[in-house]
Chains A and B, each alone.
Chain A
Amino acid sequence: MSERRTSPVPVEPAAGNGILNRRIFLEGALIAGATGAGFTGAAAEPLPVQPWMKAPGADFAAYGQPSQFESKVVRALARPANPATQGIGTARTPLHLLDGMLTPSGLHFERSHSGIPNIDPDQHRLVIHGLVKQPLVFTLEALSRYPMTSRIAFVECAGNSGALNAPQPQALNVPAIHGLLSCSEWTGVKLSTLLDEAGVDPSARWMLAEGADGAGMSRSVPLAKAMDDALICIYQNGEHVRPSNGYPVRLLLPGFEGNMNVKWLRRLKLTAGPTMTKDETSKYTILLKDEKAWQFVFPLEVKSVITKPSPGLTLKGPGFYEISGLAWSGNGSIRQVEVSADGGQSWAPAALSGPILPKAPVRFRAPWQWNGGPAVLQSRATDDTGMVQPSRAAFAAERGLRGQYHYNAIQSWRIDEKGEAVNVYA
């Protein structure tokens, strides 16, 4: 056996059941006694010269695609029971098969209410009217002439993680539970610029945003948000916004529930009060324990999920693993993520991979020496407003489990002795 060139630095356990100190990620320290599962230290086979090393490769492609060997990294589709209403459903991001903080555009989640319209950008118009001095209409060409702003932001469906409201834990994986979360770099025109141009009437307090899709998806947005950080997005990750994400123009309201980030945006009407659309009354309201429901719940509160290990990503025997996941808050930046391997009895801080941006997911990582025994993995995020992600019990105590939307309690994955992860309530 060959000698290591650097002496291993003993890394003390940071929390129960094998959670190690995050400084091995922060400082690159080595772990005494930690071995990779399946890595025995036996000498490797001689290196073969493969066919692709001896011949020219493929020609250039006008638009690149992932490797054919990554064909399983796709969105999970949930279609309606009624084939006549195709287009009501979701495509869920395979977060457990991705790393980093950004979502490739082709894997960004999709939730639509009447399918994806095929919009000719030259025919598309955005109109601003209602309580303004001068109603205005914008072509895409006109919008493209304004100074652009870029920011990285998550979009999360209000219904994401709603499966965890179920009384009994269901055997679901990360995309099925949490896959209605994605993150892109968005580029477009500040909405305040356009509203200033139209001249906002002092009596305006709300803004109806409406899509050009068959459902005419519409939501009322507080004018304060519209004037703050709302963006009229033309670009997503550098290219024009994908059709399933609102081509040619979508509204971005950083941190606010996905449904309000109206895709295929065609109309903004300034009003004194909310319009009380279907999606802010009958849907996207949170029925509490008693008969009352919260209405106008906008920011998605602090949340995190371990994406690795998770159901389907079976551990290959005892040894060293990285626990990794995403943390985000619609109210600001992530300040801290803690992880636990003993169902929340003890916690240790995870390392955060930068950049740490407001209203954007952060990748967290924690080292774990799995002893091969049962474990319950959890992550708990804290944002810079001081809000801490609640336990499922605390979440349920406040609002019950009938609300459907804005579920942000701690996710628990139980690891069994075979290394398989399963969704549990702990």
Chain B
Amino acid sequence: MSMHKHLLIGAAIVALTATASAQTPPKFGQPIAPADIAPWDISVGPDGAGLPPGRGTVAQGEAVYAAKCQACHGEKGAGRPNDALVGGKGTLEAGKAPVKTVGSYWPYATTLFDYIRRAMPFTDSKSLTDDEVYAVSAYILNLNEIIGKDDVLDAQSLPKIRMPNRDGFIPFPRSPK
């Protein structure tokens, strides 16, 4: 092989490499370790994935509720000025005006924990300890007669709760493929 051919092949390789690198999409994301995401990784799946350690009782929750929730959600979750958390049983039936509460409508208890932890109390969200979130979740579920007054909520027991309206949801018939 002549020197000339070597040069040509070399040039072709350089050209191919340049083309390949030009076609590599730009990457500006910075790798991050799961432990460094943890402070933001607060979502809880319906299987309980993401639930933190900790526990809470109905009685503990009643105290948290009185101090931090009742001003907006009323005594024993009756609502007013903001949403009712209790009641509405039977109001989903045909012809009735629905009263959609944790007890009458919510399909998963994990959602209650997730939402309280991320969004409540409204003026000081993400301020409750995980124990307090378990406790106040327990209190609201007890008010709705879904768990007993002596039940304890933690990462094991919460996802096992079967909500009354668990089977109340069906897929939209015209979802895009």
Which A residues are closer than 8 A to B by beta carbons?
Answer: 80-82, 84-85, 88, 113-114, 127-129, 134-139, 142-143, 145-147, 193-194, 196-198, 208, 210, 214-216, 218, 225, 266-267, 269, 271, 273-278, 281-282, 285-287, 289-299, 301, 331, 402
Contact = CB atoms under 8 A, between A and B. Distances in A.
Contacts of B110: 276
B6 interface: no
Contact of B125 (A216, A269, A289, A297): A216
A186 B25 CA distance: 22
Given A215-B119, A277-B115, A295-B171, 15 more contacts: A84-B72, A84-B123, A114-B119, A127-B32, A129-B37, A214-B122, A214-B125, A216-B125, A267-B40, A269-B41, A273-B47, A282-B100, A294-B173, A299-B176, A301-B174
Contact of B43 (A138, A208, A282): A208
A277 B176 CA distance: 21
Interface of B: 25-34, 37, 40-47, 71-72, 81-82, 92-94, 97-98, 100, 102, 105-108, 110-111, 114-115, 118-119, 122-123, 125-126, 168-176
Contacts of B102: 282
Contact of B45 (A80, A82, A84, A275): A275
B43 A281 contact: no
Contact of B176 (A85, A113, A291, A331): A331
A290 B172 contact: no
24 contacts: A84-B72, A84-B122, A129-B41, A135-B33, A137-B37, A142-B28, A146-B26, A194-B29, A197-B27, A218-B43, A276-B108, A276-B111, A277-B43, A277-B111, A277-B115, A282-B100, A282-B106, A291-B94, A291-B168, A293-B92, A293-B168, A294-B173, A296-B172, A298-B176
A310 B28 CA distance: 50
A145 B26 contact: yes
A127 B42 CA distance: 13
Given A82-B82, A273-B45, A136 B94 contact: no
Contacts of B108: 276, 281
Is the contact region of chain B dominated by helix, strand, or loop, or is it mixed? Answer: loop
B175 A138 contact: no
A235 B64 CA distance: 42
A166 to B, nearest CB: 12
A292 B170 contact: yes
A197 B98 CA distance: 45
B28 A281 contact: no
A129 B34 CA distance: 8
Nearest to B25: A193
A78 to B, nearest CB: 15
Contact of B28 (A114, A127, A146): A146
B120 to A, nearest CB: 9
